[in-house]
Amino acid sequence: MKGWNGRLLRVDLTKGKTAVQEYSEDLARRFLGGRGFAVKLLWDELKPGTDPLSPDSMLIFATGPLTGFVLPNSGKMVVAAKSPLTGGYGDGNLGTQASPNLRKTGLDAVVVTGKAERPSYLLIEDDSSEIRDATDLWGLDSYKAEAKLKEDHGRTSGALLIGPAGENLARIATVVSQEGRAGGRPGMGAVMGSKNLKAIVIHGTKELPAHDPGKLKELGQKGYQVIMKKDNYKFWKRQGTMATVEWCQEAGTLPTHNFREGVFDMAPDIDGNTMEKMVTKQRGCPNCNMICGNVIEDTEGRESELDYENVTMLGSNIGIGDLRQVGTLNRMCDELGLDTIGAGSVIGFAMEAAEKKLIDLDISWGDYEGAKKLLEDLAYMRGHGATLGLGTKAAAEKIGGGASDFAIHVKGLECSAYDCHLCPGMALSFGTSPIGAHHKDAWVISWEISTGRRAEYDPDKADKVLEFQRIRGGMFEGLVTCRFPWIELGYELDYYPEFFEAATGVKMSLDDFWALGDRVYALIRAFWVREFGGDWSRQMDYPPKRWFDEPLTKGALKGEHLRRDKYDELLQVYYDKRGWDDRGIPTKATMERLKLGEEAVQLEKYVKLS
């Protein structure tokens, strides 16, 4: 096999052993890499009902066949596990030096099981791998721990870490890297913490095995040039994802006060234009020429790398309109290893619960000091943080008194930063995302608004969600490269089959990639259904209750809300297009068509397939 290394590293922390394993060509061809590998390994090897925070759980770091080659934006990696936040499949995608380094050790993925007796880190250097003592790193924030590891193992190594949040099993803990990259929103940091694994340090020096290295080099060079000539390139380099604040405010979709409203009075104070005046430097992922991490100084003069989601969830969603204060909260999340979206959502939820006197917590909208304190408590799972750190859904269930009505999540994963009172397409995207309410798979909101969203529930919205899920959730999460060249600058998708063929020697058309995406989606859905059994229902594909029942009270969209019956019809259109039954479960025929016949037989042990 070219393109793929064909090997993964097995790490059993209980036994203190590591072993390299060759994997089959069938796995590569049927599941490609990244998310595809992750779900297939979890499906085959994780016993249904396993506690995600027990030693039996699996934590997977997976690259894809394009990762690490000198091609546009190929420095990404998928981190996946059964989620302790949702109880279903969970993953995230981060850009880090650890990605190309892993590939250059001759590996494509690392699968961690067991639990180390004491705090440990894993060191992978070309052909050697070793579990080392991390007692002196445990308790350190991610910046300090990474600095120490880099001091010991060199600046060219890559490190994946957890902060105190992961150590203390906060269910909204992520994996972090490079002072500002983070991935694994559905609690992947907690899974790592439950294994007593503080970090993975990777250093690789091998040549990546390309099918046609000359062609790949030529395509890569051309790719970077094409990207630089795109119309939006210069503006992107200035604002990155932060431009979204302004247009979301204009469109009335900016998450505000725990998604009660879609406009925020102080939005201009936290938008991309304000940020531009404050930027001190930019950071990004490896192999990228459109780097988008804009760094500002926070209230204490420390660096904080901003992105749209971070700024709005820790800004407008909790009523804070000072970008340096938002920068501090963002920096704290990176240090503590908390997901900014989860944290901003939980804090907004807590502010509303306090306002409604459902919890005895001294915090209110815009309360910066209160938010800082709560972030610490969330990461250390102490005080109110012990409940709120379980995530919005679980916390609301514990608090009771109607708190679930304003818990903003799907399947337990907090919503990314798009208010959907009048965006049924984006609501469907959140509803059917394979990990809970994340925008990563089908970010249809820009299309929906630009094409006149008042044709509200047209079936073409289901088509768009499906199309984006295939491209973003299927192809990009399988090849494991950043999707921003395509979605942000219009870099043509046709380049990707060319890259893939030069890397692997395998011809795949875009349609083949879509079929691959459908296969991965069906298996992820099967995983959820296997975990939830009789508790699974189509209601799990519904967006938060608030968007149906509580109309907006401000701005041009005042009075708007989602319609339940119409949403349900749109969901059915989506199911029909996917070949899933009216419970949202792939039919037997669909599974067979997608070359998941064996998996269908296994699934039938848990649920009768249509």
Examine residue 386 and tell whether it contacts ligand SF4 (CB under 6 A).
no
Q: Is 258 within 8 Å of 544 (Cβ atoms)?
A: no
* Residues 150-169, mask of contacts with ligand PTT (x by CB under 6 A): --------------------
Q: Is 181 within 8 Å of 120 (Cβ atoms)?
A: no
Q: What distance in Å separates the CA atoms of residue 50 and residue 47, rounded to the nearest whole number? A: 6
Element (H, E) at 293: strand 293-297
Nearer to ligand PTT, 308 or 574 (CB): 308
Nearer to ligand PTT, 368 or 606 (CB): 368
Contacting range for ligand PTT; rule: CB under 6 A; set: 12-20, 253-261, 304-312, 594-602: 304-312
The count of other CB atoms within 10 Å of the CB of residue 360 is 8
Q: Measured from the CB of residue 473, what is the shortest distance to ligand PTT in angstroms?
A: 9
Q: Measured from the CB of residue 232, what is the shortest distance to ligand SF4 in angstroms?
A: 12
State the binding partner of 288 from ligand PTT, ligand SF4, none, CB within 5 to 8 A by kind: ligand SF4
Q: Which 425-464 residues touch ligand PTT, going by CB under 6 A? A: 440
Nearer to ligand SF4, 41 or 288 (CB): 288
Q: Is 273 within 8 Å of 243 (Cβ atoms)?
A: no
The count of other CB atoms within 10 Å of the CB of residue 45 is 13
Of 599, 577, 40, 428, the closest CA to residue 609 belongs to 599
Q: What distance in Å separates the CA atoms of residue 152 and residue 497, rounded to the nearest whole number? A: 40
Q: Which 65-94 residues touch ligand SF4, going by CB under 6 A? A: 73
Of 135, 136, 131, the closest CA to residue 119 belongs to 135
Nearer to ligand SF4, 282 or 299 (CB): 282
Tell how strand 409-410 and strand 413-414 pair up: antiparallel
The encoded tokens of residue 402 equal 């109607």
Examine residue 271 and tell whether it contacts ligand PTT (CB under 6 A).
no
Q: Is 298 within 8 Å of 328 (Cβ atoms)?
A: yes
Beta bridge partners, 120, equal 133, 197
The encoded tokens of residue 386 equal 């012990």
Examine residue 190 and tell whether it contacts ligand PTT (CB under 6 A).
no
Q: Measured from the CB of residue 248, what is the shortest distance to ligand SF4 in angstroms?
A: 19
Nearer to ligand PTT, 171 or 181 (CB): 181
| Dihedral sign from CA coordinates of 349, 353, 358, 364 | positive
State the binding partner of 308 from ligand SF4, ligand PTT, none, CB within 5 to 8 A by kind: ligand PTT
* Residues 287-306, mask of contacts with ligand SF4 (x by CB under 6 A): -x-xxxx-------------
Q: Which residues contact 438 (CB under 8 A, 6 or more apart)?
A: 185, 413, 416, 430
Q: b/e string for 469-482 if b means 16 or more Cβ within 10 A?
A: bbbbbbbbbbbbbb
Q: What distance in Å separates the CA atoms of residue 551 and residue 16, rounded to the nearest whole number? A: 55
State the binding partner of 290 from ligand SF4, ligand PTT, none, CB within 5 to 8 A by kind: ligand SF4
State the binding partner of 70 from ligand SF4, ligand PTT, none, CB within 5 to 8 A by kind: none
Q: Which 81-100 residues touch ligand PTT, going by CB under 6 A? A: 92-95
Examine residue 61 and tell whether it contacts ligand PTT (CB under 6 A).
no
Nearer to ligand PTT, 92 or 497 (CB): 92
The count of other CB atoms within 10 Å of the CB of residue 553 is 10
Q: Measured from the CB of residue 539, what is the shortest distance to ligand PTT in angstroms?
A: 25
State the binding partner of 184 from ligand SF4, ligand PTT, none, CB within 5 to 8 A by kind: ligand PTT
Nearer to ligand PTT, 94 or 506 (CB): 94
Nearer to ligand PTT, 339 or 560 (CB): 339
Q: Which 478-497 residues touch ligand SF4, going by CB under 6 A? A: 482, 484
Give alpha helix (H) positions in 454-587: 460-468, 477-479, 484-489, 495-504, 510-532, 545-549, 564-578
Q: Measured from the CB of residue 180, what is the shortest distance to ligand SF4 in angstroms?
A: 10
Contacting range for ligand SF4; rule: CB under 6 A; set: 5-13, 284-292, 330-338, 568-576: 284-292
Q: Which residues bind ligand PTT (CB under 6 A)?
A: 76, 92-95, 174, 180-185, 241, 285, 305, 307-310, 333-334, 338-341, 440, 476-477, 482-484
By CB under 6 A, name the binding residues for ligand SF4. Answer: 73, 95, 284-285, 288, 290-293, 482, 484
